């Protein structure tokens, strides 16, 4: 049942009513990070449960025991503006044979995963993140659906920026929360290698708590990638993919 405190919290952000119980929980939690408008929430199709945000927290961040009316342990995380315009730029990426570990525990390299002419969508996440990463991952989840039959021709990579915590097992569990298909794989490895990959894409911000929402789209085998800073819709991501393939 919707509590009066939930109603006041959501009303503060201009959300008059969300009928679904799990959407109410999601909106209440995310409001503590950033104030959302109802159109922003619905446009991103965020129908996943609170558990997708709260599980696999670091020690001391047990969300099941947390008083949500108190301080957020991620309050020092740089909170994004959910309603800000998506910033589109082009970046050149020099691929190297940087070692990586896939969600199934198998070893690979960045160059191997991005070899060939297959169109690619790439993002950086970490599983204990409760602000940027769940939103980014939900966008990618919906992108799978919007791609339709094209999904078979695309590869999607989510690379952990907290590899010391994000074991293959945690990444696999995280991927299932967002209904990741076979074309969407999650990667970990050593901290040094994760930093090297972030730097290759110009995404390194010195600390995971300072990371910003970034997605990268490549039409296949190109040095230049489209960088989308912010929270694009799945439709926008797919449009970039299709434009890059044509170009």
Q: Across-strand partners of 156?
A: 121, 184
Number of independent structural domains in the chain: 2
Q: What is the CATH number of the domain that holds 156?
A: 3.40.30.10
pLDDT band at 41 (very low <50, low <70, confident <90, very high): very low
Taking the C-alpha atoms of residue 37 and residue 41, their distance in angstroms, rounded to an integer, is 7
- Assess whether 31 and 109 both reside in one domain: no
Phi, psi dihedral angles at 166 (to 5 degrees): -80, 85
pLDDT bin (cut points 50, 70, 90) of residue 80 is low
Task: Give the percent of the chain with pLDDT over 70.
Answer: 66
Distance of alpha carbon 6 from alpha carbon 24, whole angstroms: 8
Q: Is the pLDDT of residue 70 over 90?
A: no
In a domain, 72, yes or no: no
Residue 73 lies in a domain: no
Mean pLDDT of the chain: 78
Reported as a pLDDT band with limits 50, 70 and 90, residue 81 is low
Give the residue-averaged pLDDT of 132-145: 97
Residue 245 CA to its chain's centroid (Å): 23
Q: Which domain holds residue 50?
A: 4-65
Chain centroid, CA 207 distance in Å: 16
Per-residue pLDDT at 15: 36
179 in any annotated domain: yes
Strand runs (DSSP E) across the chain, as ranges? 87-92, 99-102, 107-109, 120-125, 155-160, 184-188, 214-218, 224-229
Residue 240's alpha-carbon distances to 211, 218, 233, 235, in angstroms, are 23, 9, 11, 9
In a domain, 11, yes or no: yes
Q: Is the same domain home to 54 and 149?
A: no
pTM of the complete model: 0.71
- Asked if residue 60 belongs to a domain, the reply is yes
Q: Residue 175 has what pLDDT?
A: 98
* Structural domain includes residue 154: yes
pLDDT tens column, 90-110:
999 999 999 999 999 999 999
- The 10s digit of each residue's pLDDT in 150-185 is 999 999 999 999 999 999 999 999 999 999 999 999
Environment class of 42 (CB within 10 Å of its CB; exposed 0-12, middle 13-18, buried 19+): middle
Within-domain flag for 203: yes
Contact 214, 227 (CB under 8 A): yes
Residues 101 and 192 in one domain: yes
Backbone dihedral angles phi then psi of residue 101, each to the nearest 5 degrees: -125, 130
Residue 29 lies in a domain: yes
């Amino acid at each position: 049942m919707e509590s009066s405190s939930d109603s006041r919290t959501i009303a503060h952000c201009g959300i008059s009513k969300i009928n679904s119980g799990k959407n109410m929980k999601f909106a209440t939690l995310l409001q503590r990070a950033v104030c959302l408008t109802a159109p922003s929430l619905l446009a991103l199709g965020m129908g996943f449960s609170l558990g997708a945000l709260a599980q696999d927290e670091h020690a001391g961040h047990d969300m099941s025991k947390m008083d949500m009316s108190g301080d957020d342990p991620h309050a020092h995380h740089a909170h994004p503006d959910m309603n800000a315009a998506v910033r589109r730029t082009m970046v050149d990426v020099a691929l190297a044979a940087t070692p990586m570990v896939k969600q199934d525990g198998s070893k690979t390299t960045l160059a191997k995963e991005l070899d060939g002419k297959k169109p690619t969508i790439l993002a950086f996440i970490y599983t204990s993140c409760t602000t940027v990463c769940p939103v980014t991952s939900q966008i990618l989840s919906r992108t799978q659906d919007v791609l339709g039959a094209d999904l078979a021709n695309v590869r999607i990579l989510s690379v952990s920026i907290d590899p010391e915590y994000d074991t293959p097992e945690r990444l696999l569990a995280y991927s299932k929360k967002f209904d990741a298909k076979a074309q969407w794989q999650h990667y970990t490895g050593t901290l040094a290698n994760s930093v090297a990959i972030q730097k290759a894409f110009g995404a390194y911000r010195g600390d995971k708590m300072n990371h910003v929402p970034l997605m990268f789209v490549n039409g296949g085998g190109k040095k230049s990638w489209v960088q989308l800073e912010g929270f694009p819709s799945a439709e926008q991501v797919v449009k970039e993919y299709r434009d890059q393939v044509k170009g």
